[in-house]
Structure 1
Amino acid sequence: MITKCVQCICALVIFIAVYFPSRHARHYDYIHLKDVISELVFNINNKFSQEKNCEYGALILNNTEIIIADVTQTKYFIPPLIGGEFIPQTFTVEQNNTLPFNRAEMMNYGAKIAIESNIYGCSHRPRHMSSSLDTFRYNLPYLTLFGGAISILTSHFKKVNGMSNLFFGWGGEDDNFYNRLESHQILPYRFDPELSRYTMLIHKKQLKNDKRFQILNKPLNIENDGLNRLNRRYLVIPENLFTRIVVN
Structure 2
Amino acid sequence: MTRLLLGVTLERICKAVLLLCLLHFIIIMILYFDVYAQHLDFFSRFNARNASRAHPFSNSSRPNGTAPSYGPAGAEAPSPSTKPSTNQSATEKPLQPCQETPPGLVGRLLIEFSSPMSMERVQRENPDVRQGGKYTPPDCLPRQKVAILIPFRHREHHLKYWLHYLHPILRRQKVAYGIYIINQFGEDTFNRAKLLNVGFMEALKDDDEYDCFIFSDVDLIPMDDRNLYRCYEQPRHFAVGMDKFGFRLPYAGYFGGVSGLSKSQFLKINGFPNEYWGWGGEDDDIFNRISLNGMKVSRPDIRIGRYRMIKHERDKHNEPNPQRFTKIQNTKMTMKRDGISSLQYRLVEISRQPMYTNITVEIGRPPPRLARG
TM-score normalised according to structure 2 size: 0.50
Contact 1:85 1:242 (C-alpha < 8 Å) held by counterparts: yes
Counterpart of 2:351 in structure 1 is: 237
Alignment partner of 1:220: what SS?
helix
Counting only pairs closer than 5 Å after superposition, residues 1-248 of structure 1 correspond to structure 2 as 53-59=97-103, 63-69=106-112, 72=115, 76-86=125-135, 87-116=176-205, 117=207, 118=210, 120=212, 121-205=230-314, 206-218=318-330, 219-234=332-347, 235-248=349-362
What is the Cα-based RMSD across aligned positions, in Å? 2.8
Q: CA deviation at 1:80?
A: 1.9
Identity %, equivalent residues: 27
Q: CA deviation at 1:198?
A: 0.7
Q: CA deviation at 1:88?
A: 2.3
In 2, Cα distance between the equivalents of 1:231 and 1:54?
38
Alignment partner of 1:93: what SS?
strand
Q: Which has the higher contact order (CA 8 A, sep 6+)?
A: 1
Would the alpha carbon gap of residues 90 and 186 (structure 1) be closer, same or farther in structure 2, given more than 3 Å must change? same
In 1, Cα distance between the equivalents of 2:110 and 2:356?
24
Q: CA deviation at 1:54?
A: 3.5
Q: CA deviation at 1:155?
A: 0.1
Would the alpha carbon gap of residues 165 and 83 (structure 1) be closer, same or farther in structure 2, given more than 3 Å must change? same
Partner AA of 1:110 in structure 2 = G
Would the alpha carbon gap of residues 230 and 241 (structure 1) be closer, same or farther in structure 2, given more than 3 Å must change? same
1:169-225 Cα deviation digits (max 9, x unpaired): 100000001111111111111111233111112233231111111222224322211
Q: CA deviation at 1:168?
A: 0.6
Alignment partner of 1:91: what SS?
strand
Alignment partner of 1:113: what SS?
helix
Alignment partner of 2:360: what SS?
strand
Contact 1:88 1:119 (C-alpha < 8 Å) held by counterparts: no
Q: CA deviation at 1:65?
A: 1.2
Bigger Rg over Cα: 2
Contact 1:63 1:195 (C-alpha < 8 Å) held by counterparts: no
Partner AA of 2:111 in structure 1 = I
User: Is there any run of 5+ residues in structure 2 with no aligned partner, and where?
Assistant: 1-68, 78-94, 136-175, 213-229, 363-373
Alignment partner of 1:171: what SS?
coil
Alignment partner of 1:122: what SS?
coil
Q: CA deviation at 1:69?
A: 2.7
Contact 1:82 1:238 (C-alpha < 8 Å) held by counterparts: yes
Alignment partner of 1:193: what SS?
coil
Contact 1:128 1:190 (C-alpha < 8 Å) held by counterparts: yes
Would the alpha carbon gap of residues 103 and 70 (structure 1) be closer, same or farther in structure 2, given more than 3 Å must change? closer
1:75-98 Cα deviation digits (max 9, x unpaired): 633242221111321110011033
How many residues align structurally?
Answer: 204
In 1, Cα distance between the equivalents of 2:103 and 2:302?
15
User: Is there any run of 5+ residues in structure 1 with no aligned partner, and where?
Assistant: 1-43
Would the alpha carbon gap of residues 119 and 178 (structure 1) be closer, same or farther in structure 2, given more than 3 Å must change? closer
Contact 2:211 2:262 (C-alpha < 8 Å) held by counterparts: no
In 1, Cα distance between the equivalents of 2:199 and 2:255?
18
Q: CA deviation at 1:108?
A: 0.6
Q: CA deviation at 1:129?
A: 0.1
In 1, Cα distance between the equivalents of 2:287 and 2:248?
19
Q: CA deviation at 1:230?
A: 1.9
In 1, Cα distance between the equivalents of 2:247 and 2:196?
25
